[in-house]
Amino acid sequence: MPKTKYMVTSGFLGAGKTTSMLALAREINARWGKAAILANDLGAGNIVDADYTATSEVLTTSIAGNCICYQHENLVDKLRQLAAAGATVIFSDIPGCGIGALDHVYLQLAEREGDEFELMPFTCIVDPERMRMLMEGDAEGIREMMRKSTARRKLFDKEKPEPAGEASDAGEAPHTEEAQTADAEKLQK
């Protein structure tokens, strides 16, 4: 039996993650199979991706309360539900650059459920206008952050996740709008 393909899309709030996932899902549905979206609303009252996505013709379910990075069993349960409903490709999103998702989602899925899921490339959506504005303030700082992030977490490296209870990145901020705003302000300084 073929594995269900799974892709995480990251990016800051308003970058176009949901819009991109919907466009990709519609294209897959029209040409190759059945796509689904697992909306990761994090329980915030002002984030409506699950409601918005559910109005589309794309198979959708949501996972709430915390980032997918920190609820592995619930994530796997939701992925299995979508696969049982016929999804051959599943997209989900996380806010921010999503480096933690590589450890907490991709590497754990590969290690624990590698026989069920094929991991697609981790994708970061960037709003070009916002990036231009940030880069005018501190272009070298942003480039250095991206270089470090990419060097630290290559998608299919052989590195094992840290033991349970230890943070993968010291000082890693939670996936909240406030944390993202603080990160963006640091980049501009």
Distances, alpha carbon 20 to alpha carbons 25, 53, 170, in Å: 8, 11, 31
Q: What is the DSSP letter of 151?
A: H
- Give bridge partners of residue 36 from the DSSP assignment: 59, 90
d(CA 39, CA 186): 28
Point out the least confidently predicted range of 101-105, 149-153, 155-159.
Answer: 155-159
Between 148 and 97, the more confident residue is 97
Q: What is the value of pTM for the model shown?
A: 0.69
Range 167-183 average pLDDT: 43
Range 70-89 average pLDDT: 95
The pLDDT, as a whole number, for residue 43 is: 53
The pLDDT, as a whole number, for residue 119 is: 93
Residues 6+ apart with CB under 8 A from 111: 160, 161
Point out the least confidently predicted range of 9-13, 17-21, 100-104.
Answer: 100-104
- 178, 177, 187: which is closest to 15 by C-alpha? 177
Residue 171 contacts residue 161 (beta carbons within 8 Å): no
The pLDDT, as a whole number, for residue 11 is: 84
d(CA 109, CA 119): 8
d(CA 90, CA 83): 8
The pLDDT, as a whole number, for residue 155 is: 35
Q: What interhelical angle do 128-152 and 177-188 show, nearest 10?
A: 90
Q: Is the pLDDT of residue 146 over 80?
A: no
Between 39 and 96, the more confident residue is 39
Q: How confident is the model at residue 83 (pLDDT cuts 50, 70, 90)?
A: very high
- Give bridge partners of residue 60 from the DSSP assignment: 37
Q: How confident is the model at residue 112 (pLDDT cuts 50, 70, 90)?
A: very high
Q: What is the DSSP letter of 44?
A: -
